Chains A and B, each alone.
Chain A
Amino acid sequence: MSDLNKLTVVEALKGLSNHDYSAVELTSACLDKIEKTEPTLNAFVTVLRDDALDAAKRADQLLKDKGSSKDKPLLGLPIALKDNFLTQGQRTTASSKVLDNYYPQYDATVTSKLRNAGAVILGKTNMDAWAHGSSTETSDYGPTKNPYSSSHLAGGSSGGSAAAVGTDEVIAAIGSETAGSIRQPASWCGVVGMKPTYGRVSRSGVIAMGSSLDSPGTITKTVSDAALLFSVIAGHDPLDATSSSSPVPNYYANLNPKLKGIRIGIPKEYYLSGAMKGINEMVFASAKLLEKLGVILFDISLLDPKYSIADYTIIQRSEVSSNLARYDGIRYGKARSFFGHEAKRRITLGTYALSSGYYDAYYKRAQQVRMLLMRDFAKAFAKVDLILAPTSPTTALKVGDTLNKAMFGELADVLVEASSLVGLTGMNLPIGFLHGLPVGMQLIAPQLCEQKVLNAAYAYELATNWRLNTL
């Protein structure tokens, strides 16, 4: 078995372009690793072996005939998609038995963009069913394990994508975040997870969870990889009425690790006294390292994240109850009786919050609290360029620890909900290990300031190297 699966996006594209190896060899290395690792890891719902090898062969033909094409920037690159991204003719389940037999009639916009860029789709990764969770334990296809411990979880809801990247089953993966679903599993799995500004990447063809929150993004081994992939998937889409018309920069070409004068805020409310011992200390140490690289640190204050737990719970579950109303087994999928417990839990609260007599007390008040959060961040970003905090108050939890709780997902995502509710961009960066499990920190920036996040993260990555590959 070759080691080509361990490459990064930047390395793989360079090697393919130089004809150091073929797309088929690269894809086969990933498929071999997937075959070896999946019995324990369970990162995939569907492995698209034949389709992937066919796509790789077509990529090799193009690489042979024309060299790497400028209009196919990902030619031959093997990646995975979270199983809430529609893939035409290829099973898409959102990790729910309701969609166990669903073969979409069209691609998500992100899927099309990746295919048009020449990427090879290896398969569809496991997730919390309907993206309802922060562990991948609510998947109807079993939980995904952590790359560093098979008795621990990968996080969620993009746990499959994060674990697949963390174990080098894939070169990179696509995830989605409603609140935390990219950043948190990236933190638990020790990989880079980039959540874009709401509207920066099209939601068309992504199975909807919270329509005012859902943000497709990238899960990669390095920051450079995130920057490169981001430029491919970002951009205005007429099929998504909330997608941003702002031009997409070349994030990769614009990477600049010079941090002198960049102001980073440290919000005391996000360094929880109840966080796992060691996490806050590690993030503070990373802040000090950034200071040595030229950053100016500021103590700032943000609204207590406890308000965002309640806020996100109401808004998200209300939108979930509406979005999941379409699954009636008539046009596609199976009956609503196939919904899992978590989906039923969330639909119930959402329906309650939107009901006549309760709408004002719950949903409307939650949207007012959301406005307070927006104003709070605006005040903070008048003083600083970026905000730095731990991504998760814990490292990966054990398999079984997250089941059947009233609000596990929302409580676990306490540190990422506010920034999601306000549509900000944020990234998880791996910063080391605690008791053998990865720890991550997050950098948050105002809307459409992805380059600021990428630059600071890139500088940090160049100065450190926490990515271990023990598998």
Chain B
Amino acid sequence: MAQDKIQVSETEFNQLLKKANLTLTSQENTQIHSQLNEAIDAIKVFDELDLKDVPALNQPIEDAHNTWREDVVEASLSQAEALSQSQSTHQGYFMVKAIFQNEDN
């Protein structure tokens, strides 16, 4: 599918940043937006290849399959270990920003 030079609009770029949970400075915004367009343009080279009926190869493993283990309790990190690297904990919980508020908050 032939494509003209793709330009990601400013609105679309800002939506992308929201999806990616990224905040950019205004200088970064200009630079990275322009570089995004440049990188997308470089992908046009795919148009030269015949991909009709070619299946996708998601992993370079011939017989990729789900791998399971037995449903047996095994040793794991203690709660203290799991919490040890967080900068904000409360009574054994990781603290996160409130998602919604109710009358109690």
**Which residues of A does B touch, CB under 8 Å?**
102-106, 198-199, 212, 238, 241-242, 306-307, 309-311, 313-314, 317, 321, 325, 328-333, 336-337, 339, 341, 344-345, 347-349, 351-352, 355, 361-362, 364-372, 374, 404-407, 421-424, 447
Interface string of B45-71 (1 = CB under 8 A from A): 110110100111111110010110100
Q: What chain B residues lie within 8 Å of A349 (beta carbons)? A: 36, 39-40
Q: Is B73 interfacial (CB-CB < 8 Å)?
A: no
Question: Given A102, A198, A347, A405, which contacts B22 in the complex, CB threshold below 8 Å?
Answer: A347
In the assembled complex, the CB of A382 is this many whole angstroms from the nearest CB of chain B, namely: 16
- B residues 1-57 near A (Cβ < 8 Å) are 1, 3, 8, 13, 16-17, 19-24, 28, 31-32, 34-36, 38-40, 42-43, 45-46, 48-49, 51, 54-57
Given contacts A330-B96, A336-B22, A368-B56, 14 further A-B contacts (CB under 8 A): A105-B85, A212-B60, A242-B59, A313-B42, A314-B43, A330-B86, A330-B95, A337-B23, A348-B13, A348-B32, A352-B40, A367-B57, A368-B57, A374-B57
Q: Is B77 at the interface (CB under 8 A from chain A)?
A: yes
**Interface SS majority for chain B:** loop
What total count of A-B pairs have CB within 8 Å? 143
Q: A348-B20, A361-B1 are in contact. Are A212 and B36 (CB under 8 A)?
A: no
Could you say which of A238, A241, A332, A345 contacts B86, with CB atoms under 8 Å apart?
Answer: A332
Give A343's nearest chain B residue, CB to CB: B22
Chain B interface residue bracket vs A: 35 or more
CB distance from B18 to the nearest CB of A (A): 10
Q: In the bound complex, what is the Cα–Cα distance between A329 and B97 (angstroms)? A: 12
22 of the cross-chain contacts (CB-CB < 8 Å) are: A198-B60, A198-B61, A238-B69, A306-B45, A310-B46, A313-B39, A317-B39, A330-B86, A330-B94, A330-B95, A331-B94, A341-B32, A348-B17, A348-B32, A349-B40, A352-B36, A367-B57, A369-B51, A370-B60, A372-B49, A407-B39, A447-B60
Q: In chain A, what residue has the closest Cβ to B45? A: A310
Chain B residues with Cβ below 8 Å from A328 are 21
B87 proximal to A (CB < 8 A): yes
Give Cα A307–Cα B43 distance, bound, in whole angstroms.
9
> Is the C-beta of B81 less than 8 angstroms from some C-beta in chain A?
yes
**A173 to B: closest C-beta gap in Å:** 25
A contact residues around B31 at 8 Å (CB): 341, 404
- Of chain A, the residue at the smallest CB distance from B97 is A330
The complex places the Cα of A325 from the Cα of B18 at a distance, in Å, of 12
B64 contacts across to A, CB distance below 8 A: 242
Q: Which of B49, B61, B81, B95 contacts A105 (CB 8 A)?
A: B81
Give the residues in chain A near B101, CB-CB below 8 Å: none
Query: Are B85 and A103 in touch, CB under 8 angstroms?
Result: yes
B46 touches A421 (CB 8 A): no
Nearest-neighbor residue (CB-CB) of B18 within chain A: A351
Indicate whether B84 reaches chain A with its CB closer than 8 angstroms.
yes
By beta carbon, the residue of chain A nearest B19 is A351
Decide: A331 and B35 in contact? CB cutoff 8 A.
no
Q: A102-B85, A309-B42 are in contact. Are A352 and B58 (CB under 8 A)?
A: no
Name the residue of chain A whose CB is nearest to the CB of B84.
A105
Nearest-Cβ distance from residue B27 to partner chain A, whole angstroms = 10
- B19 touching A372 by the CB < 8 A rule? no
Check B38 against A348 for contact (C-beta < 8 Å): no
Cross-chain contact A406 with B45 (CB below 8 angstroms): no
Write the nearest CB–CB distance from B84 to chain A, whole angstroms.
6
